Structure 1
Amino acid sequence: MKKNNLGTGAGFVLILVWCLLPVAWIISLSFKSPEETAAGSPQFLPKDATLQNYRDILDNPDFLDALRNSFGIALIATFLSVVFATLAAYAIARLEFRGKRAVLSLALAIAMFPVVALVGPLFDMWRTFGLFNTWPGLIIPYMSFTLPLAIWTLAAFFREIPWELEQAAQVDGATSWQAFRKVIVPLAAPGVFTAAILTFFFAWNEFVLAISLTSTTGSRTVPAQLSYFVGPDPFNPPYGQLATASVVVTVPIIIIVLIFQRKIVAGLTSGAVKG
C-alpha cells in the first residue's frame, strides 16, 4: 500500500512539474531584460530582475484596447450564450417534441465544425453587412460555437433535477416561469456556471476569428493583438513583452475561475434537497 501511495505521489509531482514548468518559465521570462532574453542560452532565473516589461505593456495603448475588447466581447458572448442555452436546454430536457434528437445532433455537429472553414464566408458576409471589425462581428460567431456546447452541458444538468420539485412549486401557486426561475435555475447553478466558464474561455482564447474579422485595435482581442508584437526586426522578437502580456492576460482568468468555482460550490449546496 505504501509503495502504491509513493508511486501515485511521485506521478502526481511529475505531472504537476510538467504542467507548471512552462508557466514558471513564462513568468521568469517576463522579468528579464531584452539583453538577457537575446542571449543564446538564457538561464531560468533572471540575473537582474526588472519590471520594465510590465511598465511597457501597461503603457501600450494598443494592448490596453485589446484587453478591453477581450473583456467586453467575452462577457457579452458568455452572458447571451448562457441565457439562450439555459432556455433551450430546459426545453430539450423537459419537453417532448418531434426532432429533439435531430436538434441535439445538429448542435453537436456545429460545435465540431472547424472554425477556419467559416473564415472566408464570414469575412465576405461581415463586410457586406457592416459587421467587419466590430464587436458584434465577433460575438455572433463566438455564440455559434459556444451555444451548442452550453446546451449539451445544461441539458444534462436539467435531466438530473427531479420533475416533482417543479410540480410542487406549481401546486403552491407558482407559474411555470416562476418555477423555472426560482426553483430549476438555482438547482442547475453548477451547470450554468460550468457553461459560463467554457464559453468565456473560448471567447477569451479564440484567435482565428479574432485575427481574420478585425483590422484595427477598435475590436481586436488580446490573442490577435499579441501576433503584432514583432519587435524591431523579425530576428529579435520581444520575448519579454510577449511573456509579460501572457502573464497579464492570465491573471484575470485565474481570478475569474476562482470566483466561478466558489459559485459552483454554492450552487451545489443550495441545490441539495433536504429530506
Structure 2
Amino acid sequence: MSTQTIINRHAPERVRRTPAGEQGFSWVRLLAVMLVVILALGPLYWTFITSIKNGTELTASPPTLFPHSFDLSNYVQVFSSSFFLPTLRNSAIIASITTILALIFGILCAYALARLDFLGKSTVLSTVLSVNMFPFIAMIGPLFVLFTGPIYLYNTYVALIIPDLVLTLPLTVWFLTAFFRDLPSDLEESARVDGATRLQVLWLVIVPLTAPGVFAAAILSFIAVWNDFLFGLNLTSNERAQPVTVGITRFNSEHVVAYGQLAAAAIIVTIPLVILVLICQRRIVSGLTAGAVKG
C-alpha cells in the first residue's frame, strides 16, 4: 500500500472539510463581531444624533435615524449653563483622588495578602471580594444620616470619596493580589539582601514589575467612580460637590425633558473616558491579559 493511499484513507475528510468549516466559522465570527459592535455603539450613535438635532427634528414622529440637521446649539447651551463645568470638575477631582487612594491602599493590602502568611488570610480575601456583592443602595440611608448628623460631610468631596473607595477597593485588591502572588519571590529576596526594606521592595521592585496590572486597575477604578450616580444623587445637593452624572439631570425642568441638552452633555462626559481608554488601551489589554493568564 502506497504512502499516498494511507494519507487519503486517514485524512481525506479533514482535508476536504477544513476549508469549508473555516469559511463557515469566519462568517459566524464576523456576524458575531458585527452584532456586538452594533449593540455597543448603537446607543452612543443614537445619543450623538440626538445631540445635533434641532428642536423640530427632536420631536418628529417617527424619529429620524439619520439626522437632517447639524445643530450645535445644544452643546452651546450645555457649556453656557452655570452648573455643568463645575460638576465636570467635581467628577474629575473625585475620580482622581479616589483612584489614587484605591491604588495606595489596594497595593498595600494586595501585597500583604499575596506575600505574608497570617491567620485567616483566605477569609480576608473572600470578605474583600464579597463587598462587591453588597447592594450599595443599602448604604445610602446610613451614610446620609451619618454625614448630616454626627459627621457633617454632606455635599462635600469626602462624602463621595469614602463610599467610592468602598466601591473600588475590592476590585483593586482582588485584581492586584493575583499579580503579586505570581511574581517570583527571588526578586524580593535579592532586594532584601541588598538592604532594601519591605516597603522599598514593594514600591521600587514589585509595583514597577506589575505596572500593567496596576495601570489596568487604576483605569477600571477611575471609570467606576466617574460613572457613579447613586452616591452623587443622595449625598450632594448642588454644584459645590455634585458629580457631572447628577448635574446633567438639572437640564430637565418640571414639565420639559431636554433631550438635546441631555444627549449633548452625555457625549461630552463620555469623551474623556474614550480618550483615556484610546491612549491607554495597550496597557489595559496587557494588564487584563496578564491577569487572566496568571490568575
Output the TM-score relative to the length of structure 2: 0.85
Q: 1:35 to 1:218 in 2, by over 3 A?
A: same
1:251 is aligned to 271
Distance 1:59 1:45 in 2: 27
Distance 2:277 2:64 in 1: 32
2:80 is aligned to 59
> Is residue 34–residue 238 contact of structure 1 (8 Å, CA) maintained in 2?
no
- Whether 1:216 and 2:238 are equivalent positions in the alignment is yes
- Deviation at 1:171? 2.6
Distance 2:274 2:28 in 1: 30
> Is residue 216–residue 287 contact of structure 2 (8 Å, CA) maintained in 1?
no
> Is residue 94–residue 161 contact of structure 2 (8 Å, CA) maintained in 1?
yes
Q: 1:266 to 1:175 in 2, by over 3 A?
A: farther
1:28 is aligned to 49
What one-letter code is carried by the residue in structure 2 that aligns with 1:238?
A
> Is residue 249–residue 262 contact of structure 2 (8 Å, CA) maintained in 1?
no
Once the two structures are overlaid, the 10-residue window that deviates more, 78-87 or 166-175, is 166-175
2:194 is aligned to 172
Deviations 1:195-219 (A, max 9, x none): 1122111211111111000111111
Deviations 1:148-206 (A, max 9, x none): 11100010110111111111222334333322222110111122112112211121111
Distance 1:58 1:250 in 2: 15
2:13 is aligned to none
Match of 1:130 among 127, 149, 152: 152
What one-letter code is carried by the residue in structure 2 that aligns with 1:14?
L
Once the two structures are overlaid, the 10-residue window that deviates more, 257-266 or 144-153, is 257-266
Deviations 1:68-105 (A, max 9, x none): 11000011001001111001100110000012122112
Any stretches of 5+ residues in structure 2 without a counterpart?
1-21, 289-295
> Is residue 187–residue 267 contact of structure 1 (8 Å, CA) maintained in 2?
no
1:88 is aligned to 109
What one-letter code is carried by the residue in structure 2 that aligns with 1:251?
I
Distance 1:146 1:34 in 2: 40
Distance 2:206 2:245 in 1: 37
What one-letter code is carried by the residue in structure 2 that aligns with 1:106?
T
1:273 is aligned to none
Q: 1:265 to 1:112 in 2, by over 3 A?
A: closer
What one-letter code is carried by the residue in structure 1 that aligns with 2:261?
Q
What is the total number of aligned residue pairs between the two structures?
266
Once the two structures are overlaid, the 10-residue window that deviates more, 4-13 or 253-262, is 253-262
- Give the secondary structure class of the aligned counterpart of 2:236: coil
- Whether 1:185 and 2:207 are equivalent positions in the alignment is yes
CA RMSD of aligned residues (A): 1.7
What one-letter code is carried by the residue in structure 2 that aligns with 1:98?
L
1:240 is aligned to 260
- Give the secondary structure class of the aligned counterpart of 1:61: coil
Output the TM-score relative to the length of structure 1: 0.91
Any stretches of 5+ residues in structure 1 without a counterpart?
269-275
> Is residue 186–residue 267 contact of structure 1 (8 Å, CA) maintained in 2?
no
1:39 is aligned to 60
What one-letter code is carried by the residue in structure 2 that aligns with 1:249?
V
Once the two structures are overlaid, the 10-residue window that deviates more, 83-92 or 37-46, is 37-46
Q: Rg bigger for which structure?
A: 2
What one-letter code is carried by the residue in structure 1 that aligns with 2:249?
S
- Give the secondary structure class of the aligned counterpart of 1:44: coil
Q: Percent identity?
A: 44
Distance 1:260 1:77 in 2: 19
1:78 is aligned to 99
2:219 is aligned to 197
> Is residue 102–residue 172 contact of structure 2 (8 Å, CA) maintained in 1?
yes
- Give the secondary structure class of the aligned counterpart of 1:216: coil
1:7 is aligned to 28
- Deviation at 1:263? 4.1
